[in-house]
Amino acid sequence: MAENISTTSSATNSFSSTDTAILDTLIPGYSLISRFVVSRFDIDIASYLQYVILLATFGASFQYLIWYTMNVLERYFVSTAEIRLDDEIFNYFMYWMSRQPHMSKTNRFVAGVKTNGYWSDDDSDDEDDEKGMDELDEPGSGENEPTFDEYWAKLMGRDKYRTLRYTPAEGRHFFWFRGRPLMLERQQQHQSTRYVLNNETLFISCLGRNPTIIKELLNEAQQSYVERDGNRTVIYRGQRLYASRPFAWYRCMARSPRPLSTVVLDQTQKDEFISDIKEYLHPRTRRWYSNRGIPYRRGYLLHGPPGTGKTSLCFAAAGLLGLKLFLLNLDSKALDEDNLSSLFSDLPRRCIVLLEDVDTAGVTHSRGTDSSDKIKEEDSAEQAKEAGGDSNNPENEKEKEKKEEAKPNGITLSALLNVIDGVAASEGRILVMTTNHPEKLDAALLRPGRVDMSIQFGHTTQADIKELFTSIYTTMEGDLPRVAASRRLTNGTHKSVTNGSIHHAYTNGQAENKEKLQQQFEKDQETKIRLQELRVRISRLALEFASIVPNNEFTAAEIQGYLLNHKNAPEAAISGAEVWVQGIREKKRAQSNLIA
Ligand SMILES: Nc1ncnc2c1ncn2[C@@H]1O[C@H](COP(=O)(O)OP(=O)(O)OP(=O)(O)O)[C@@H](O)[C@H]1O
């Protein structure tokens, strides 16, 4: 034992105390570990230390070499695409990624009910709504049909659960696309603010200097995102996420197109409007404009009392032509000329820009009384201040919001005129402005080149009232109740049955099918006759209704609102019409007395 202790002490002492102190600084706890190893295993670490240092140096150099080689490889042999959060491609890619089968196998993912949560609506609500609807029978009075309460209980039970979407978590992920390995890196950006908590960037890389495969991937992602919209009208809104961010177009929804026939307006006016837009969009028109050096733009002014169909016509035109609709509220105090021109310069080539209620914005002031210069001066002083401060500080954000509240209305007439047809104004878009008070608008805004066609909307005529009544009560194809897929199968077919299909079933020896088809055929014929009778009845009732409601006194919105209260009982709508007319008249009289 004594011999052992003396060996140990000599081993520990093979390093001077200064050396041990240095080692203790470099490797915290060195002397302690060294003593423990000597006492326990009788091994003097000090005598192996040079090898350990050599190994560590070798390890570090190797690591550096790998890092360096990777860097060189990444720079010269890897192609990378960067995708930023504020670009729509971010949405496309995340949507595509969340629908890939390999996302169900990955062990690091972000789970959510949306594939993105901050800058745009990805319509997952609509998708959720449609999902599983095929398995739900709509309520009805038939033998096997559920009651409304049963249907509602089922629907609410289903709505409690939303489809979960999985997207890759922060960090690196490898996946295959068309037989090629790709790498996705999701990186958190640290200048996040309280408004955008997850500001991030994506990097998609592939081996080789040819990035075609990444472009193909992004094209596929875009395609799947766009296909999901089908023929729906996609609506964007010009807004900003928080005070220190510029205005941008954010997708807010995609809606089923509104048939033009449902907008009650003089047919000639409707035809003129649509054919004017079609003529403008024709490729020869673009050439014609460019050959003559005329800016390729077209503007429309839809004016008339509230609720007469201005927005509806614009929406129907967008749906008919498959154009995206960009909505902008000029009344926003925060909107200035720079924001407005950057919004207009971000517009796609073919689209409809809808500026609603232009008369309510600061643009009603004539050009001479513009206070834009004053506002600009104030703005630049503010910007100079901001440059010195931290734009991400929540307190600064609050300050900015308060200042903007206190600012006079943002946009001025000259700013609007500049973006509509200034030298740098965008080309190719269709501009539609709506107003309830065209008389308030400055002549400069209405001159040709800015407004090329005006359409006046007014109170409903007898013909309009009849059309509105008919459109509300006519049974349309989509009105028929939805039958669950399982019942459709057991019932045979949900398509209309023809004599030919009955004969086909018979010759194929499907006797039991034949009977079912025969029944279905008779049912379809009955339905057709019933629909025809209904049409005649509705047209008679429409005439009756139009004779009660006075000409040129009510808006389409008012009549629609009344009819919706009796949407299943046209006769009740007619019998209550006179009282309703009196009621509305009195209400309007009272309102005008109040204003006077
Ligand atoms: N001419 C019309 N044809 C069919 N529906 C109409 C018509 N006018 C109004 N409506 C109905 O009334 C409602 C409001 O219509 P819309 O928003 O188009 O009116 P608007 O003229 O743009 O009103 P505002 O000036 O207040 O913006 C919609 O639900 C629409 O269906």
- Tens digit of each residue's pLDDT (9 = 90 or more) over 376-414: 444 444 444 444 444 445 555 555 555 555 455 568 888
Q: Whose CA is nearest to atom 17 of ligand 1?
A: 311
Question: Is residue 193's pLDDT more than 70?
Answer: no
Nearest Cα residue to atom 11 of ligand 1: 557
- The answer to which of 210-224, 289-303, 471-485 has the lowest mean pLDDT is 471-485
Task: Express as a percent the part of the chain with pLDDT over 70.
Answer: 75
105-119, 153-167, 322-336: segment of lowest average pLDDT = 105-119
* pLDDT: which is higher, 226 or 399: 226
Ligand 1 center from residue 263 Cα (angstroms) = 8
Residue 239, φ and ψ in degrees, nearest 5: -155, 180
Q: Which residues pair with 175 in a beta bridge?
A: 182
Query: Using 50, 70 and 90 to split pLDDT, how confident is the model at 74?
Result: confident
pLDDT value at residue 39? 87
Question: Ligand 1 centre and the CA of 358: distance in Å?
Answer: 17
What is the average pLDDT value for the chain, to the nearest integer?
80
Ligand 1 binding pocket includes 360 (Cβ within 6 Å) = no
C-alpha 7 – ligand 1 centre gap (Å): 100
Q: State the pLDDT confidence band at 14, using cuts at 50, 70 and 90.
A: low
Compute, in angstroms, the gap from residue 467 CA to the centroid of ligand 1. Answer: 14
Q: Are strands 233-239 and 324-328 parallel, antiparallel or unpaired?
A: parallel
Candidate ranges 149-158, 190-199, 542-551; pick with highest mean pLDDT: 542-551
For 521-550, b/e burial (b = at least 16 CB within 10 A) is beeeeeeeeeeeeeeeebeebbeebbeebe
Residue written as tokens 């200097």? 209
pLDDT higher than threshold 70 for residue 444: yes
Of 333 and 67, more confident: 67
Among the listed ranges 167-171, 477-481, 482-486, which one has the minimum average pLDDT value?
482-486
Return the H-helix or E-strand segment holding 385.
Answer: helix 372-388
Picking from 166, 156, 78, 159, the residue whose alpha carbon sits closest to that of residue 125 is: 159
Look at residue 10 in the predicted model and tell me its pLDDT.
46
- Residue 576 above 70 pLDDT? yes
68 phi and psi angles, rounded to 5 deg = -65, -45
Q: 135 and 486 in contact (C-beta within 8 Å)?
A: yes
Q: What integer pLDDT is reported at residue 402 of this predicted model? A: 54
Q: Average pLDDT for residues 6-11, to the nearest whole number? A: 44
Amino acid 512: pLDDT: 63
Query: Can you tell me the distance from the alpha carbon of 398 to that of 243, in angstroms, rounded to the nearest whole number?
Result: 8
Give the Å distance between the CA of 557 and the centre of ligand 1: 5
Q: Say which residues have a Cβ less than 8 Å from residue 142's Cβ, sequence separation at least 6.
A: none
State the DSSP H helix or E strand holding residue 180, giving kind and residue range, or none if neither: strand 180-188
How far is the C-alpha of 596 from the C-alpha of 7, rounded, in Å? Answer: 112
For the Cβ of 306 lying below 6 angstroms from any atom of ligand 1, the answer is yes
For ligand 1, whether the C-beta of 436 sits within 6 Å is yes
> Has residue 211 got a pLDDT over 50?
yes
Nearest CA to ligand 1 atom 12: 557
Quote the tokens at residue 366.
């004539």
Weakest mean pLDDT among 40-54, 298-312, 393-407, 530-544: 393-407
Instruction: Give per-residue pLDDT as tens, 465-476.
Output: 999 999 898 876
Higher pLDDT, 584 or 407: 584
The residue whose C-alpha atom lies closest to atom 9 belonging to ligand 1 is: 309
pLDDT value at position 366? 53
Lowest-pLDDT range, 196-205, 335-344, 383-392? 383-392
- Position 283 pLDDT exceeds 70: yes
Answer whether 263 contacts ligand 1 (Cβ < 6 A).
yes
Q: How far is the CA of 537 from the centre of ligand 1 (A)?
A: 26
Distance CA 433, CA 453 (A): 11
Task: Please give the Cα distance from 150 to 134 (Å, whole number).
Answer: 16
Weakest-pLDDT range from 27-31, 131-135, 497-501: 497-501
Over residues 94-145, the pLDDT tens digits come to 989 988 888 877 788 888 776 655 444 555 555 556 666 666 777 776 677 7
Domains observed in the chain: 2-75 (no CATH), 76-229 (no CATH), 235-456 (3.40.50.300), 463-495+522-595 (no CATH)
Complex ipTM, two decimals? 0.98
Say how many Å lie between the CA of residue 571 and the centre of ligand 1: 24
Alpha helix ranges (H) inside 474-553: 485-490, 499-507, 511-548
Amino acid letter for position 554? F
In this prediction, residue 2 carries a pLDDT of 42
563 burial class (0-12, 13-18, 19+ CB within 10 angstroms)?
buried
The minimum-distance atom of ligand 1 relative to the CA of 471 is 4
Give the integer Cα–Cα distance in Å for 110 and 117: 12
The pLDDT assigned to 375 comes to 43
Query: Measured between alpha carbons, how far is 340 from 69 in angstroms, rounded to an integer?
Result: 48
Higher-confidence position of 44 and 391: 44
Question: 494 pLDDT band (50/70/90 cuts)?
Answer: very low
Find the 561 Cα to ligand 1 centroid distance in Å.
Answer: 11
Which pLDDT does position 492 carry in this prediction? 44
Average pLDDT in the 339-364 region? Answer: 84
Highest mean pLDDT among 272-281, 341-350, 530-539: 272-281
Residue nearest to atom 16 of ligand 1 (CA): 309
